[in-house]
Structure 1
Amino acid sequence: MAFKTLAFLVAIASVVLATPMKRTACPNSKHTAVNAACCTWFDVLDDMQANLFDGAECGEEAHSALRIAFHDAIGFSTKGGKGGGADSSIIANGAVELEFAANAGIDDIAGPLKDLADAHGKTYGDIIQFSAAVAVADCAGGARLPFLAGRPNATKITPDGTVPDPFNTVDVILARMADAGFSPDELIALLASHSIAAADQIDTTIPGTPFDSTPAVFDTQVFVEVLLNAIHIPGAGLQKGEVRAPLVGLMRLQSDFALSRDARTACTWQSFANSPKLMNQKFSKAMAKLAVLGQNVKHLTDCSEVIPTPAANNVPPFLPAGKHQSDIAGSCAATPFPSLPIQPGPQQTIAPVPPS
Structure 2
Amino acid sequence: MAFLRSFIITLAIMAPSFKLLANAAVTPRSNKCSVWYDVLKDIQNEVFDGSKCGEEAHESIRLAFHDAISYSPRLGGGGADGSIMMYPEIETKYAENAGLDDIVHRQRPFALKHGVSFGDIIQFANAVALSNCEGGPRVPFYAGRSNYSQPSPDNLVPAPFHSVDQILGRMSEVGFDSDEVVALLAAHSVAAQDQQDTSMKGSPLDSTPSVFDGQFYLETMTNSPPEGVFRIPADRLFATDPRTVCLWQTFVDDHNSMVNQFSRAMVKLAAVGQDHASLYDCSEAIPAPRRLRNHRPKFPYGQSAKHVHYKCTEASFPQAKLNHDSSPVPPVQKS
TM-based fold match above 0.5:
yes
1:64 maps to which residue?
Answer: 59
1:142 maps to which residue?
Answer: 136
> Secondary structure of 2:200's match?
coil
CA distance in 2, matches of 1:296, 1:183: 20
Deviation at 1:201, TM superposition (A): 0.6
2:226 maps to which residue?
Answer: 247
Of the candidates 304, 323, 330, which is equivalent to residue 324 of structure 1? Answer: 304
Of the candidates 265, 270, 283, which is equivalent to residue 304 of structure 1? Answer: 283
Correspondences of 1:109-258 after superposition (within 5 Å)? 109-230=103-224, 246-258=225-237
CA distance in 2, matches of 1:135, 1:221: 19
Q: What letter is aligned with 2:202?
A: G
CA distance in 2, matches of 1:154, 1:347: 51
CA distance in 1, matches of 2:48, 2:149: 29
> Secondary structure of 2:210's match?
coil
CA distance in 1, matches of 2:290, 2:302: 29
Of the candidates 29, 37, 54, which is equivalent to residue 49 of structure 2? Answer: 54
CA distance in 1, matches of 2:154, 2:100: 15
2:39 equivalent to 1:44: yes
Asked if the contact 1:137/1:309 (under 8 Å) is kept, the reply is yes
Question: When you count helix as a share of all residues, which structure comes out higher?
Answer: 2
2:89 equivalent to 1:87: no
2:335 equivalent to 1:340: no
2:16 maps to which residue?
Answer: none
CA distance in 1, matches of 2:78, 2:46: 29
CA distance in 2, matches of 1:221, 1:34: 38
Unaligned runs of 5+ in 1: 1-32, 231-245
Asked if the contact 1:75/1:84 (under 8 Å) is kept, the reply is yes
Asked if the contact 1:88/1:128 (under 8 Å) is kept, the reply is yes
CA distance in 1, matches of 2:318, 2:309: 12
1:286 maps to which residue?
Answer: 265
CA distance in 2, matches of 1:112, 1:347: 36
Asked if the contact 2:252/2:297 (under 8 Å) is kept, the reply is no
2:242 maps to which residue?
Answer: 263
CA distance in 2, matches of 1:339, 1:296: 43
CA distance in 1, matches of 2:65, 2:149: 19
Aligned-residue CA RMSD in angstroms?
1.3
CA distance in 2, matches of 1:223, 1:317: 12
CA distance in 2, matches of 1:166, 1:217: 22
CA distance in 2, matches of 1:64, 1:316: 25
Asked if the contact 1:323/1:347 (under 8 Å) is kept, the reply is no
CA distance in 2, matches of 1:317, 1:156: 45
Q: What letter is aligned with 2:130?
A: V
Q: Deviations over 1:189-227 (max 9, x none)?
A: 000000010011111111010111111111110000001
Percent of residue pairs identical: 45
What TM-score do the two structures reach when normalised by structure 1? 0.84
Q: What letter is aligned with 1:254?
A: P
> Secondary structure of 1:191's match?
helix
Q: What letter is aligned with 2:165?
A: D
Q: What letter is aligned with 2:47?
A: L
CA distance in 2, matches of 1:322, 1:260: 20
Q: What letter is aligned with 2:143?
A: A
CA distance in 1, matches of 2:203, 2:31: 42
Q: Deviations over 1:11-54 (max 9, x none)?
A: xxxxxxxxxxxxxxxxxxxxxx9621111110000001000000
Unaligned runs of 5+ in 2: 1-27
CA distance in 1, matches of 2:277, 2:295: 39
Deviation at 1:337, TM superposition (A): 1.6
Asked if the contact 1:166/1:253 (under 8 Å) is kept, the reply is yes
Q: Deviations over 1:278-300 (max 9, x none)?
A: 00000000000001111112211
CA distance in 1, matches of 2:230, 2:71: 29
What TM-score do the two structures reach when normalised by structure 2? 0.89
Deviation at 1:347, TM superposition (A): 2.5
> Secondary structure of 1:205's match?
helix
2:30 equivalent to 1:35: yes
Which runs of at least 4 in structure 1 moved beyond 6 Å after TM superposition?
none
Q: What letter is aligned with 2:182?
A: I
Report the count of equivalent residues: 307
CA distance in 2, matches of 1:299, 1:34: 14
